[in-house]
Structure 1
Amino acid sequence: MFQPILSLFSAKRVTKRVITVLYDILAINFALYVAIALRTGRLTIPFGPEEVTSFVVTVLVTIVVFAKLGLYRAVLRYMIVPALGHIALAVILSAFALAISSFYTHSYIHRSVPAIYAGIAVLFLGAPRVLVRMYFDRFYRKGKPHVLIYGAGATGRDLAYALRQGSEYHPVAMLDDDKKKCGNIIYGLKVYHSSEFEKLNGLYQPVKLLLAINNISTGERLRLVNKLSSWPLEIQSVPSVEDIASGKSSLTEIKDLEVSDLLGRDSVEPQESLMKACIESKAIMITGAGGSIGSELCRQIVRRKPKVVLLFELNEYNLYNIERELQQYIKFTKQEIKIIAALGSVQHKKRLENLMLTYEIDTVYHAAAYKHVPIVEHNTIEGIRNNIFGTWFTAEAAMNSGVSNFVLISTDKAVRPTNVMGASKRMAELVLQALADSGSNTNFTMVRFGNVLGSSGSVVPLFREQIKKGGPVTVTHPDITRYFMLIPEAAQLVIQAGAIAHNGQVFVLDMSEPVKILDLAKRMIQLMGLSEKVGEDCDGDIEIKFTGLRPGEKLYEELLIGENVTGTEHPKIMTAQEDKLSWPEMESVLNELDEACHQTDLVKVRDILLKTPTGYVPEGNIYDHLYKEA
């Protein structure tokens, strides 16, 4: 029955417009006839040249006004209430045209006919459009999963409208804590108080709750998420206002809650003067540009209007992704920034030098490193080659190329390390400290911080993936704790630390309170609308399994401080005084370490790391794959 109608709506736009105009012409004429017939009380009406002229003028005026108001450009299935206002306005103008034309042509049309005509025309012209809108609204709503929207502010209103036009979800109601908004109707959705959730959940059986609030503080958002986590459905959010404004995300890109929502970490707004000091109008190089920290450094840097951004990355795919993202951002913001995507390894000193000299690099952010503790523990030589010698070669290339500032991204695992990764990063710091004391014109800075939330090696994406697969969620130990920081905050603090640094300084970042990984896992299970399964007989959804500490892994990460820590002009950045070596001493150690790596003498490699002031305290075993096989 409806197949001809559906096929008509899939026709070309021109065809549909012609049909709509023809219908409107017929509807206007019929409305005129009915209006005159009702006024005269007769089915036959006098129809001479004067009446024909009046009819033609009325039809032409109405069609022109409809066209000017865009009613022939509007898609009928998406029409909403404002379009009815346009129809009413067009009909009023049409009625005036009828009255004026009938007066001047002396046609047989009574003075009350234009008013009667206006009412009938609104019905004949508006009703079909409303019926089409209602039909398609019901047709597309069928089979769409129900969702609730939390937040009846600007973001919630925009989301409600976008979802009503889309095909993925069907919003059934809105929730808000503001009693003044309760009872309002927004795009056909009633606003309820959040205390009425149980009633709405039973009535509509929504599959998820969409959080549409972006204008509250981190603390308020955390308290809200804490409240919502007890509700038995999945919670997701809309992108931030910044992501929508920059074109990075669209309003309908519903996504899982940000890791910042899970922990509620408050960050300090960056000081723009420090953010721009080493970047604005300068040539910047980022090693490891495709990694979690490296890519975020790139994003922060391009917002501060550098002249050149040189992306240096070993992984081709990661390099492609970050270059494409930055090019899209530059195009969107209409900036003139030169982006250079360079493949290469930080162990190739000549390649680094050529790039730095060619593009006259002012500042280097050295983020390239192997950071995964168990993998580096099993691949000791490659970890040391990349983390220690890669840093040395990049630093010397910077010195030889006249680079002004060199910032090393270090780790809290370099503080009294128990694993090869941490020891290699502490050794990299020692290299830069020795070079700084050797009279270099390059300003060397080291910045330490802990785990970053949402990075490629973070537990958050791992837990999310495990939960989506139905579990189990794997935690190494029930008491394991870690310090966490958001990736954008870490990148901003690294840039600011580089701006306030004096040559050879080691900076440590304030990481706030540590987080228990088990609590994080439980929280993520709740916020994805599931429950923890405890024991075989429990009715829960997701089981948590403990796998045991991995090689080189600490139960408790130490506070992110070294010795003799003092504050700086930034509240989140401190500086630490560390033991260090002179350059001749450091060079001797590096040569000895190079020979041990070349001979694959892992026992000697460990002895060198132990006798150098790294604070390295291994567990006693060597876990390297080759050593174990031998």
Structure 2
Amino acid sequence: MTFIIFMMYEKSISMKKQLINKHLCFLLFIDLIIIFLSLYLSFLLRFDFKINHSDIALIYINLPVIILIKLSLFWYFKFYRGMWRYTSIVDIITILQAVLFSSISLIVFFWFFNPFNYVFPRSVLILDFILTSFLISLSRIVIRIHYSLPTYSILKNQFLLLKGSNSANTNGKGNKRVSIIGAGDSGEQILREILARSDLKIVAVGFFDDDPSKIGSTIHGVPVLGFIEEINYFKNIYDEIIICLPAATNEQMQIIIERCKETGKKFRTLPAIWELIDGSVSVNKIREVSLVDILGRDEIYNDGNEDLAYEYLKGKRVLVTGAGGSIGSEVVRQCFRYELELLILLDISEYNIFQIDSECNLRNGKTKHISILADIRNRSTIENILKKYKPEIIIHTAAYKHVPIQEKYPWEAIKTNVCGSLNLIELSPKYKVESFIFVSSDKAVCPTNIMGATKRIVEMIINSKNNKSATRFNAVRFGNVIGSSGSVIPIFKEQIARGGPVTITHSEMTRYFMSIAEAARLILQAGALGRGGEIFVLEMGKPVRIDYLARELIKLSGFEVGKDIKIEYTGLRPGEKMNEQLILDFEELIPTKHKKIMILKSRITNGNAFNDNVKDIIQLSNCFSIQKIKTKIKEIIPEYEPGALSPKDD
């Protein structure tokens, strides 16, 4: 008892403060009732529900001591500090420990300090331990259920379903009825949030899932109505569809999207699992279905190389050129996952650098960042940046990449894509850069345009510089990136928004595609896998017809091809290919530990002749002659096949 009194005195100040909390008072009241009920029921069970008046009197006489001992130990085990709305197994174990110690303390008390010379039967104390543990655990579980999934919300959802379509409309005055595709964990989490948030004004009417064992069952009172292919049969009972299958492949998504289109109802989706960086599922993350979902190839996620990328980047100083661009900005976002020492953002665009810097300022974490407005073509500026900030890794995404514009102004492409890259490459060993990653393009393979040719020249420069210093030089060769600046997707969207027509150069033209997030991941993983001299290529799957892409985008925008939005074919533009390829004939394909990332081992580019040609092409960028520039590129890249020169080329 002395120990208990001392402990109570020691904690008296904090107790007084916490007792003000109404939730604490409520829990204490519940526990007092449980302590009394457990003791009383223990006597009833022990004596076959026959208790004489003397036993009842002794219960009431000893009750204050029992309450004092139990609540003291409950307080010692921090019963009233936890947030019971998050009750877990750990909390239940804590309850069992506290109740066990309180029962032992009661035995000791009645054995040594029994003022009434009355010994509680041991069976009563055992029963009391069991009942107290059960009832207190049950009370905390009820609290958890109340906060995590209010019964009121379930009943409200059922009531709105019973009222029918009159109370579930989309005119903005009532509740929108939704069906959910996917009766798994993600679907359950979305339903849980719908039930808990009345502000959403959403009523869940049913699930659809292809698991036969789930058909006919219910989740929080909402039925699993049928298979996904049957969703059109139930279209009269819902207004919108939510696809909750973040682990679905693109092939599966294509089929699901086709089923949703048949209903004529609006449909949205949870992001794919690789897009859910923090792993959380929320109504706020539901987005419109995009082209990424229907490209027919699986994204690269959970590939086992995250640990490699983490080891590669953690604690490093990383410079990202073109940091405000579409690919560069995604690289910046993903770098924040890896606890860098310093992230250096470099861009020539004042607007772009402001935008990405503002976004970074909102992020929390260990990674510090600094934004720099600079031009990679200015060698002295780049040298000053490397000297001042000493980056250990450079991720070079800055480039001109709009094919038709570069065909008109090839000297600008040479100055930025070749000369600017050469500045970074030549200065990297001087300032002890450990790893240099260059973002290339599939247009570098047998190039037919200036953009692809400049990318190929830089690949060759990197190849020639490798193993001549401690810096590891690598390149990452991409297909087309969906939604990046200069890509066809934003152009199509603008044309659709204007009412058409959507212009395509050729009905049979194909391209490889990947998402911006996937491109950024490949860049970072290439740095982790690279040992120097490799060109990394993603297994891109099958090329996609641009015509198919345009038609799907029109459908996703809610229009009918030919009726609402027309498609026009304009013919190939200067420098365009019908089909892209990812490897050259003389390049060797080597697998890596990543099943969808491969290495292209190219010829070693050496010799003074190549270096002289690079110097010549840079000098020619000041003469403003398209013909001379293309002729020199042909000397450097024998496989370069430019289009016929027009009279206006010079």
Which residues in structure 2 correspond to 1:206-355 (within 5 Å)? Answer: 206=239, 208-240=240-272, 246=278, 251-268=283-300, 269-329=303-363, 331=364, 335-355=365-385
Q: 2:469 — aligned with what?
A: 440
Alpha-carbon offset, residue 413 of structure 1: 0.7
Alpha-carbon distance between aligned partners in 2 of 1:374 and 1:249, rounded to the nearest angstrom: 42
- Displacement of 1:411 in angstroms is 0.8
User: Is this contact kept in 1: 2:313–2:339, CA < 8 A?
Assistant: yes
2:630 is matched with 606
1:565-619 C-alpha deviation (Å, 9 max, x unpaired)? 1314233333334355436333322332233221222222121111113521101
**Cα deviation per residue 1:77-130 (whole Å; 9 max; x = unaligned)?**
xxxxxxxxxxxxxxxxxxxxxxxxxxxxxxxxxxxxxxxxxxxxxxxxx99xx9
> Aligned-pair distance for 1:478?
0.8
| Residue matched to 1:545 | 568
CA contact (8 A) 1:289 1:311 kept: yes
Residue 147 to residue 531, structure 1, CA distance change in 2 (3 Å):
farther
C-alpha distance in 1, partners of 2:503/2:217?
45
3-state DSSP of counterpart to 1:532: coil
Residue 481 of structure 1 aligns with an amino acid whose one-letter code is T
CA distance, structure 2, for counterparts of residue 622 and residue 410 of structure 1: 28
Alignment of 1:28-427 (within 5 A): 142=173, 147-160=178-191, 162=193, 165=197, 170-171=202-203, 173-177=205-209, 178=211, 181-182=214-215, 191-193=224-226, 194=228, 196-202=230-236, 206=239, 208-240=240-272, 246=278, 251-268=283-300, 269-329=303-363, 331=364, 335-427=365-457
Q: 1:400, CA displacement in angstroms?
A: 2.0
Higher relative contact order (CA 8 A, sep 6+): 1
Q: Which residue of 2 aligns with 1:590?
A: 614
SS at structure 2 position matched to 1:175: strand
2:458 to 425, 428, 453: 428
Residue deviations 1:9-58 (CA, integer Å, cap 9, x gap): xxxxxxxxxxxxxxxxxxxxxxxxxxxxxxxxxxxxxxxxxxxxxxxxxx
* 1:511 aligns with one of 540, 546, 568: 540
Letter in 2 for 1:155: S
Aligned mates of 1:314, 1:250 — CA distance in 2: 37
Read off the aligned partner of 1:552 and give its amino acid letter.
Answer: G
1-structure distance, mates of 2:495, 2:216: 40
Residue identity matched to 2:243: L
Amino acid at match of 2:225: Y
Structure 2: tracts of 5 or more residues without a match: 1-150
Per the TM alignment, residue 391 of structure 1 is displaced from its structure 2 partner at its CA by: 0.5
Task: Name the CA shift for 1:201/1:520 in 2 (closer, same or farther; >3 Å).
Answer: same
Q: 1:506 is aligned with what amino acid?
A: I
Could you say if the C-alpha distance between residues 262 and 458 of structure 1 is closer, same or farther in structure 2, counting changes exceeding 3 Å? farther
* CA pair 484-189 structure 1, distance change in 2 beyond 3 A: same
2-side partners of 1:498 and 1:404: how far apart? 10
Match of 2:642?
618
Distance in 1 of aligned mates of 2:544 and 2:597: 20
Task: Tell me the number of residue pairs that the alignment of Structure 1 and Structure 2 aligns.
Answer: 487
Matched, 1:478 2:507: yes
Q: Deviations over 1:204-240 (max 9, x none)?
A: 5x3x422122244454434433433443233321345
How far off is 1:474 after superposition? Answer: 2.6
| TM-score w.r.t. length of structure 2 | 0.67
2:221 and 2:284 map into 1 onto residues whose CA distance is 18
Distance 2:575 2:183 in 1: 49
Distance 2:345 2:507 in 1: 40
Distance 1:404 1:351 in 2: 20
SS in 2 for 1:309: strand
Q: Describe the SS at the equivalent of 2:566.
A: strand
Mapped partners of 1:497, 1:244: distance in 2: 21
Cα displacement (A) at 1:418:
0.4
Structure 1 gaps of 5+ residues are: 1-125, 534-539
Helix, strand or coil: the match of 2:517?
helix
Query: What is the percent sequence identity of the aligned residues?
Result: 33
Residue 591 of structure 1 aligns with an amino acid whose one-letter code is K
Instruction: Give me the whole-angstrom Cα distance separating, in 1, the residues matched to 2:456 and 2:526.
Output: 18
Secondary structure of 1:341's aligned partner:
strand
Equivalent pair of 1:384/1:424 in contact (CA under 8 Å): yes
Q: Is the 8 A contact 2:396 2:436 kept in 1?
A: yes
Map of 1:49 onto structure 2: none
Confirm or deny that 1:494 pairs with 2:549. Answer: no
User: Residue 195 of structure 1: CA displacement?
Assistant: 5.2
**Superimposed CA distance per residue, residues 400-459 of structure 1 (whole angstroms, 9 cap, x where no aligned partner):** 21111111111111111000111111111222223336x233221122121122323333
- Measured at CA, do residues 161 and 457 of structure 1 come closer, stay the same or move farther in structure 2, by a change above 3 Å? farther
1:499-548 deviation line (CA, Å, top 9, x unaligned): 33343333333222111121222233344444322xxxxxx433222222
| CA distance in 1: counterparts of 2:543 and 2:603, whole angstroms | 27
Aligned residues of 1:297 and 1:492 also touching (Cα < 8 A): yes
Do the aligned partners of 1:149 and 1:171 also contact (CA within 8 Å) in 2?
no
> How has the CA–CA distance of structure 1 residues 245 and 441 changed in structure 2, closer, same or farther, with 3 Å as cutoff?
closer
Q: Secondary structure at the match of 1:386?
A: helix
Distance 1:619 1:347 in 2: 28
Which segment is superposed worse, 297-306 or 416-425?
297-306
How far apart in 2 are the matches of 1:169 and 1:528?
A: 25
> 1:163–1:252: 8 Å Cα contact kept in structure 2?
no
Indicate the residue corresponding to 2:128 in structure 1. none
- Per the TM alignment, residue 157 of structure 1 is displaced from its structure 2 partner at its CA by 4.3
**Residue identity opposite 2:576 in structure 1:** E
Match of 2:476, SS state, is strand
Aligned AA for 1:402?
Answer: K
Cα 1:505–1:156, aligned 2, differ >3 Å: closer, same or farther?
A: closer
Residue type of the partner of 1:361? P
Q: Once superposed, what is the RMSD of the aligned Cα atoms?
A: 3.5
